[in-house]
Structure 1
């Protein structure tokens, strides 16, 4: 039996509003780049503001911040949790 390989994506604040969900399970064939994961997420939510909102977000893979890295070089593996955190006002 083939095991389903899933990456959990969590959206916060305006990213949640743009995606229309708090989180989702993205089925992948194995490890993928963050670029590929972003393309899959955006394709699952066509026609909205999600691409622009995600561009402004901080990104965590597990507890590791990866926003400053080239997304093509960031590997996301099945079982990982990826979080998109928009900038927050205040402090």
Structure 2
């Protein structure tokens, strides 16, 4: 399990109620499952969002294949205009 920080931007920040929070997860899929549990609006926003892992775009890679390293920063970037 990696420990890191997840940062929320724009609508994701509003839906989560915080700008960032610590996490423990092995993959991006596990992280998203954990942070959206019981947070329906955040789950909806995250489903439309792009992600950066230590500044690198995840793109279309399956989230369960994105392995997280200790100390990583994951950023949740919802569509900023019209999405």
Same fold per superposition (TM over 0.5): yes
Equivalent in the alignment of 2:32: 38
Instruction: List runs of 5+ in structure 1 lacking aligned partners.
Output: none
- Closer, same or farther in 2 for the Cα pair 1:48/1:62, shift >3 Å? same
Among candidates 41, 54, 65, match of residue 57 of structure 2: 65
Aligned residues: 81
Deviation >3 Å, runs of 4+: none
Q: Which has the larger radius of gyration?
A: 1
2:14 is the alignment partner of 1:17: yes
TM-score, normalization by structure 2: 0.88
Give the 3-state SS of the residue equivalent to 2:40 in structure 1: coil
2:3 is the alignment partner of 1:6: yes
Displacement of 1:47 in angstroms is: 4.1
Give the 3-state SS of the residue equivalent to 1:52 in structure 2: helix
Displacement of 1:65 in angstroms is: 0.4
2:46 is the alignment partner of 1:49: no
